Structure 1
Amino acid sequence: MIDLCRSYPPAYASMFLADFGADVIKVDPPGFTSPIPVPGGPEAQAAWYSLDRNKKSLLLNMRDPEGLDIFYRLVESADVLLENSKPGTMERLKIGYDILAGINPRLIYCSVSGYGQDGPYALIPGHDSNYLSISGVLSMIGEKGGPPIAPGNLVADLAGSGMFSLSAILLALLARGKTGKGQFIDVSYTDTAFSLAGFETALYFLTGMEPRRGETLRTGSEPFCATYETKDGKWFNIACIEPKLWINLCRALDREDLISHQWTFDQEIKSKVFTELREIFKTKTRDEWWDWAKDKEIAAAPVLELNEAFEDPQIQHRKMLLELDHPALGKIKQAGFPIKMSETPASFSRFGPTPGQDSDAILIDLGFSSDQINKLREQGIV
């Protein structure tokens, strides 16, 4: 797989493929440095940037005709190419899909962009919050009467384009197994964010009701699905949506009088239930509530800070935090593998490469001699 990504989100997709054994080669121009500034120089940057783990790095000047020819040779044996340049850029560089498919008809070429390869917004730059804005998602996030609030993680970027790109590549590989042909994949951050709002879209067309901030189930409009402050100033979340779970909660709290008010449309009663629960949850600390809730058949959880999540026993049991030994930097921690497979599990084989770390080995595999590689380096091609 050839990875031409210059930003975080699509590299998330290629990281998963590398974790599960794909031979992923990052191709960057000479002089390229890590997008994440970390004290300690290139080696430290590469080690901490988990999205490049298990990948190789080739620095190649594709604006030079000889460098472009080397890239074409790399494409000849590639299964997948992933890129996230501005639409039209790859064609100008003579590495667009039509040209590369002529070299390798089996190539799966995945282009990721903010608004897609076509349409009135195709050439407008943007980031995660912009795509959430256009897709209607951002308008639903935040408190009632307050401004839209961007989520703390990259929803359109990672959950959207990163995972959708991965899915699309895998689907294209399945299709190629039947047809023998590769294909072009057009993934838009905005399209994927819009798709993630599929439930809200369906509900809107069913009821005609616009989902408003703070007035939807998942933004705390109902007492049975909300986040409450605890005695120690921390937060505890409940999501007792199913009647059985709500009944379990009310009985465990010795408040069976609240059971019949779960789905009330009477705003006065709803406000009263909110008030009752707010007072109740302030009688214990967050962790006391969590200890109390675990065996009650209640959908509930403590709201953990990120550093607390690292120490959580479930996160640790699932090995979602890797502690790795770096030969020069000592212990390095990275997020683990979220997909558990019985026969072909993910594995860690190497830290992210420093820029150009694997250039010689890759070129040797393409048939270049040491003298030829030295000459290419002198010319600034690699």
Structure 2
Amino acid sequence: MSTGPLAGVRVIELQGIGPGPFCGMMLSDMGAEVIRVDRSARVRDHDADNPPIDVLARGRASIGLDLKNPDGVEALLRLVEHSDALIEGFRPGVMERLGIGPDECLARNPRLVYGRMTGWGQEGPYHLGAGHDINYIALAGALDPIGRKGEPPIAPLNLVGDFGGGGMLLAFGVACALFESQRSGQGQVVDAAMVDGAATLMAMFHSMRALGVWNDERGTNMLDTGSHFYDVYECADGNYISIGSIEPQFYAELLRLTGLEADPEFAKQNSRSGWPELKERIAAVFKSKTRDEWCEIMDATDVCFAPVLTLAEAPQHPHNVHRDVFCEVAGVVQPSPSPRFSRTVQTVQGPPAHPGQHTDEVLAIAGYDTDDIAKLRDTGAVA
């Protein structure tokens, strides 16, 4: 049994890609019993001792259902009766056409939290159109500011739209709605749109712009590589370090450890007109030593410094090792669950499941006996 803060909560996850599974992983990591509904066409013979290599799918059971089969739809609705939440990431209208939209599910279980995640939202001029992370953050105003001066915007992987503004926003929304349903006894629909979430992530920058301390020209501000004291710099060995010496006391430490404390030009920290030249000069200083040499100089100081690590290097860093930031599940190194709790300690509940691996066990939760399950297989409703 899980000991995480969501232990005892059962969530149905309609299988999807990227941000949907990320939300399911977040909820499972916090202790929820998450049941992934896979399309029956994905179910294949499998070796349970060799789980898939899919970190986002960790920690939940899988049932294979044909949701175009009426008996498969009924199986899902019966499972809804025994669950606390459902999460899905289809385009608007798909779940309704399948007969498993909010109306049908809440009719079976009025306390159900029905979590929906899309790129554009459930309504609006764009809501039926296709899109990806880069499009959602572009419309939200989150893409344009990311990049260097005189260069095009840079896509920050798909972290801002899919995962931060999408999957994590949905997990937060579901947790909030579950908390409210305990008080009201009623469920509700959570409409998590990636464009909404990406816009929410930009709240501080709207404040800065309103205050007149943020320029619309990218690469000219303190936090977007415009300043010399908040950027990444190449070292002599071709590796990189990160510097974030914003506050005066941290900036003073940066100048001391780079040998620039006596230079009067560097004393003008916040004079934007001097930033380009100072950036070139401090870049030359950092290029004079290797990354390891700068780590020896700046580790555990108040410079606001860290080496820029690769995906392979990060799990090996002493700080990450000490805090168990990463773990290994079924031979795959991956991030450990976060955040951490002092009493309801969370953990990865298990490796990823093969599609349909737990079909019989999940159907038993919905009240199906052995004969019922055999009939469902005969009709092709389950795999």
Give the C-alpha shift of residue 31 in structure 1: 0.9
**2:40 maps to which of 22, 27, 30:** 30
Between 1:58-67 and 1:190-199, the stretch displaced more is: 58-67
Q: Which residues of 2 match residues 6-45 of structure 1 at below 5 A?
A: 6-32=16-42
Between 1:113-122 and 1:41-50, the stretch displaced more is: 41-50
Q: Normalization by structure 2: what TM-score?
A: 0.91
Aligned position for 2:4:
none
Counterpart contact for 2:133–2:161, Cα < 8 Å: yes
Counterpart contact for 1:261–1:270, Cα < 8 Å: no
Give the C-alpha shift of residue 46 in structure 1: 4.4
Instruction: Report the residue type matching 1:372 in the other structure.
Output: D
Instruction: Report the residue type matching 1:113 in the other structure.
Output: T
Aligned residues between the structures: 370
**Alignment pair present for 1:148 and 2:158:** no
Q: Which residues of 2 match residues 221-236 of structure 1 at below 5 A?
A: 221-236=226-241
Q: Which residues of 2 match residues 291-306 of structure 1 at below 5 A?
A: 291-306=296-311
| Partner-residue secondary structure (3-state), 1:186 | strand
C-alpha change, 1:321 and 1:68, in structure 2 (3 Å) is same
CA RMSD of aligned residues (A): 2.1
**Alignment pair present for 1:264 and 2:271:** yes
| Partner-residue secondary structure (3-state), 1:142 | coil
| Partner-residue secondary structure (3-state), 2:37 | strand
Counterpart contact for 1:249–1:296, Cα < 8 Å: no
Aligned position for 1:347:
347
C-alpha change, 1:124 and 1:270, in structure 2 (3 Å) is same
**Counterparts of 1:238 and 1:95 in 2: how far apart (Å)?**
50
Q: Which residues of 2 match residues 328-347 of structure 1 at below 5 A?
A: 331-347=331-347
Instruction: Report the residue type matching 1:299 in the other structure.
Output: C
Instruction: Report the residue type matching 2:247 in the other structure.
Output: E
Aligned position for 1:205:
210
| Partner-residue secondary structure (3-state), 2:250 | helix
**Counterparts of 2:15 and 2:222 in 1: how far apart (Å)?**
37
| Partner-residue secondary structure (3-state), 2:79 | helix
Aligned position for 2:73:
68
Instruction: Report the residue type matching 2:211 in the other structure.
Output: L
C-alpha change, 1:198 and 1:42, in structure 2 (3 Å) is farther
Between 1:60-69 and 1:104-113, the stretch displaced more is: 60-69
Q: Which residues of 2 match residues 50-65 of structure 1 at below 5 A?
A: 50-65=55-70
Q: Deviations over 1:162-195 (max 9, x none)?
A: 1111111111111112111111110100110111
Give the C-alpha shift of residue 321 in structure 1: 2.0
Counterpart contact for 2:205–2:214, Cα < 8 Å: no
**Counterparts of 1:305 and 1:271 in 2: how far apart (Å)?**
28
C-alpha change, 1:223 and 1:33, in structure 2 (3 Å) is farther
Runs of 5+ unmatched residues, structure 1 = 35-39
Between 1:79-88 and 1:156-165, the stretch displaced more is: 156-165
**Counterparts of 2:318 and 2:172 in 1: how far apart (Å)?**
30
Give the C-alpha shift of residue 20 in structure 1: 2.5
| Partner-residue secondary structure (3-state), 1:136 | coil
Q: Which residues of 2 match residues 72-91 of structure 1 at below 5 A?
A: 72-91=77-96
**1:247 maps to which of 245, 252, 273:** 252
Aligned position for 2:185:
180
**Counterparts of 2:228 and 2:200 in 1: how far apart (Å)?**
28
Give the C-alpha shift of residue 246 in structure 1: 0.4
**Counterparts of 2:152 and 2:43 in 1: how far apart (Å)?**
37
Instruction: Report the residue type matching 2:270 in the other structure.
Output: W
Higher relative contact order (CA 8 A, sep 6+): 2
**Counterparts of 2:158 and 2:115 in 1: how far apart (Å)?**
24
Give the C-alpha shift of residue 138 in structure 1: 1.3
Aligned position for 2:356:
356
Give the C-alpha shift of residue 281 in structure 1: 1.0
Aligned position for 1:37:
none
Counterpart contact for 1:200–1:211, Cα < 8 Å: no
Give the C-alpha shift of residue 223 in structure 1: 0.9
Considering fraction of residues, name the structure with more helix.
Answer: 1
**Counterparts of 2:238 and 2:297 in 1: how far apart (Å)?**
18
Instruction: Report the residue type matching 1:6 in the other structure.
Output: G
| Aligned-pair identity (%) | 35
Give the C-alpha shift of residue 33 in structure 1: 5.9
| Partner-residue secondary structure (3-state), 2:87 | strand
C-alpha change, 1:155 and 1:209, in structure 2 (3 Å) is closer
**Counterparts of 1:321 and 1:275 in 2: how far apart (Å)?**
36
